[in-house]
A and B are shown apart, each in its own frame.
Chain A
Amino acid sequence: QVQLVESGGGVVQPGGSLRLSCAASGFTFSSYGMHWVRQAPGKGLEWVTLIWNDGSLKYYADSVKGRFTISRDNSKNTLYLQMNSLRAEDTAVYYCARSIRHFYMDVWGKGTTVTVSS
């Protein structure tokens, strides 16, 4: 079945780095754009970044631009999020999601938790 599984979350100090992964299965990964969306504790959803199916285009929320980098390896069916210069306000559950029609997210992973704290 179609599945996304995130990993790589953890506790990191302010200013530190972390790389998240999202393993895809059950569909042709290279045919779909992919998003990262996050949710701070007790808060709503915040879109983070989008990468096109072939990696040729990437878009970022202003809140992470210059600090986060999205990438993908279609040979490994895996999406990545490199997070640098982490701040307390980056603390959240991070979800990867499949993009449909470029605008929407039709399949979501269960999320991985990132905590930025000293």
Chain B
Amino acid sequence: AIQLTQSPSSLSASVGDRVTITCRASQGISSALAWYQQKPGKAPELLIYDASSLESGVPSRFSGSGSGTDFTLTISSLQPEDFATYYCQQCNSYSFTFGPGTKVDIK
């Protein structure tokens, strides 16, 4: 099964900062990767799919890039509502895996 790793596992940042989170797959997955945001006690929300497509209604400060094994999620200017945990997710042969998550908190 394909494994996903994320780095960093956590980070502290300030409002207005540019934040980049990396997701690496154990083998190539083309562009079949999504990013989700989860706040404490809430369900995850889809941000990005197909590695770089912005889900409808998601602010444009979120962007995704990458293909193959290396992917990034970038928040161009961190807002107070963006403090949360972020997960990448892949699908290969209808076996789905999530990364371990990156927690973004307030510096």
Q: Which chain A positions have C-beta within 8 A of B98?
A: 44-47
A27 at the interface (CB under 8 A from B): no
Q: Which chain A positions have C-beta within 8 A of B38?
A: 45
What total count of A-B pairs have CB within 8 Å?
58
Chain A contact residue count (CB 8 A cutoff): 22
Other A-B pairs, 16, CB within 8 Å; known A45-B36, A61-B96, A109-B43 = A37-B44, A44-B98, A44-B99, A44-B100, A45-B38, A45-B44, A47-B97, A50-B96, A100-B49, A103-B32, A103-B34, A104-B34, A104-B46, A104-B89, A105-B36, A105-B89
Q: Lowest 3 A-B CB distances belong to which pairs?
A: A47-B96, A108-B43, A103-B91
Residues of A within 8 A of B (CB): 35, 37, 44-47, 50, 59, 61-62, 95, 100-106, 108-111
Residues of B within 8 A of A (CB): 1, 32, 34, 36, 38, 42-46, 49-50, 55, 87, 89, 91, 94-101
